[in-house]
Structure 1
Amino acid sequence: MKLTDRLQMIADGIRAGETMADIGTDHGFLPIFLAESGICPHVIMTDISDGSLTKAETDLRSAQGEGNAELEGRTELRLGDGLSVLKPGEVDVVVIAGMGGILMTEILGADPEKTGSFGRFILQPRNNPGRLRAFLLDRGFRITREQIVRERRFLCEIITAVPPGEVTEPGTRGKVYGLDPVLTAELDYPDALLSVGISIGTEYLRLRREKHEQVLAAIRGNARMCADRQAELEETRIRRIRELEERLVKES
């Protein structure tokens, strides 16, 4: 099975011999590939949608029919919500990809003790990565890697994070995200983005800066909008991105 570049980058973050669970697996392409290639001795495909899990089951049977009968002993399908279908510490790596960042915080925050029992999370949010980072840092996670990969016309962010050894009192970044312009901009665009490579990093930052410039222009162009705080936030994001763009060129 050949993966998209996005799924391949996630797969590359999983080491040989590790077990994994794919939360919201949909077609199940990633875990099937990991089991089929022998990277993972055991994978768990989960989804809250019965229809999506049926698609994964169909794809699994198709892979088994192509001479991979041993997949049956390496794979499991589980219907359920978030991490509730997993036992504490049951797998080494949990992948949550293609969901919104806020939904990811809800999944990770539902049972902090269970969340902390897994070795590593690979997260690919469709939106709100800054709010997701705020959640992770508030809960004591250590963000070990930031990546960006192209998928069709989208540039997708992949965040790898290690949970803390024990549940601690949450921090305050999440509470002031969106209120404190400087903190918000730094969470949306952390220094770690400088490590993604100059080509895709430059493109990503330029596209995000242009988006914020469009939002700022719309705010300023509407005389009826009382959005001074939102304008300040967009201005701060733009300054932050420009700073990273300059540093990316210099450090490369």
Structure 2
Amino acid sequence: MKLSERLQTIADEIRTGETMADIGTDHGFLPISLKQSGKCPGVILTDISRGSLDKAIRDCRLYGPEEEFDLRIGDGLSVLLPGEVDNIVIAGMGGILITEILSADPALSRSFGTYILQPRNNPGRLRFWLAENGYEIIREHIVREGRFLPVIMTVRPGETGGRHGRYEDAPELWDYPDSMLRDRNPYSREYLETERERQQRILDAISAGDGEDRVQEQKAVRRLRRIGDLLREMN
């Protein structure tokens, strides 16, 4: 089975011989591929939706008829035992939803060795939550999937959380962190340029309005300044 660039990058973050659980597995392509290739001796496919899990069941039968797969229906990490697998993948969900999954049972969440997280939106809010709750982002990847440039974070539970005030105090530092320079790849510049265009449209829309949304205007200006600084550092 050939994976998309996004799923292959996630697969590459898992070490050979380790186990994994795919939370919100949908079609189940990632765990099916990991099991078929022999990279993961054990995979768990979970989803809160019976319809999505049925899709995964069909794909397991289609692509791995000789393999045994562990499929579970349930909400987030609640279907797992503490430390049951080495790696947890949560991909394609909103960044805020990912924080809710991780915060539902803090002791359970911290019992797993590595997380590979791919937020569909709000990556900055996710980074802030991770820092506040003692999770360390080991590295980040930007990949291409169609017209989108998803961010993939490899994360491990650390010792303690930090005190970083509020996300709203400096959103530009969480949305566009220094790690974009540390972990830059061929997509990094395009990602930032796309974000610069998006933030400029937001600023233009605010300026064309009644001018009363000063807070959002200031945030857009700060984000644009931060993106510009990072782009200059990439030269």
Identify the TM-score tier after normalising by the shorter chain: over 0.9
Matched residue, 2:86:
92
* Count of aligned pairs between the two proteins: 235
Matched residue, 1:33:
33
One-letter identity of the residue aligned with 2:177: P
Any idea what the Cα deviations from partners look like across 1:83-123, whole Å, max 9, x if unmatched?
00000000000000000000000000000000000001000
Q: Distance in 2 between matches of 1:226 and 1:177?
A: 22
Which stretches of structure 1, 4 residues or longer, exceed 2 Å deviation after superposition?
A: 170-173, 195-199
Contact 2:92 2:118 in 1 (8 A): yes
Q: Distance in 1 between matches of 2:194 and 2:105?
A: 36
- Of 166, 170, 182 in structure 2, the residue corresponding to residue 176 of structure 1 is 166
Q: Distance in 2 between matches of 1:219 and 1:248?
A: 29
Contact 1:97 1:124 in 2 (8 A): yes
Any idea what the Cα deviations from partners look like across 1:124-151, whole Å, max 9, x if unmatched?
0000000000000000111100110000
Task: Tell me the CA shift for residue 198 of structure 1.
Answer: 5.1
Matched residue, 1:139:
133
Any idea what the Cα deviations from partners look like across 1:146-189, whole Å, max 9, x if unmatched?
11000000000001110125xx5x5454x6212x1xx2111000
Q: Distance in 1 between matches of 2:17 and 2:185?
A: 32
Matched, 1:101 2:88: no
Gaps of 5+ in 1: none
Q: Distance in 2 between matches of 1:200 and 1:107?
A: 29
Q: Distance in 1 between matches of 2:173 and 2:64?
A: 46
Identity of paired residues, percent? 55
- Of 211, 220, 225 in structure 2, the residue corresponding to residue 234 of structure 1 is 220
One-letter identity of the residue aligned with 1:11: A
Matched residue, 2:195:
208
Gaps of 5+ in 2: none
Name the SS for the 2:90 alignment partner: strand
Within 5 A, what are the aligned runs for 1:1-252?
1-65=1-65, 69=66, 71-72=67-68, 75-165=69-159, 168=160, 171-173=162-164, 176-178=166-168, 180=169, 183-197=170-184, 199-223=186-210, 225-249=211-235
Q: Distance in 1 between matches of 2:158 and 2:43?
A: 23
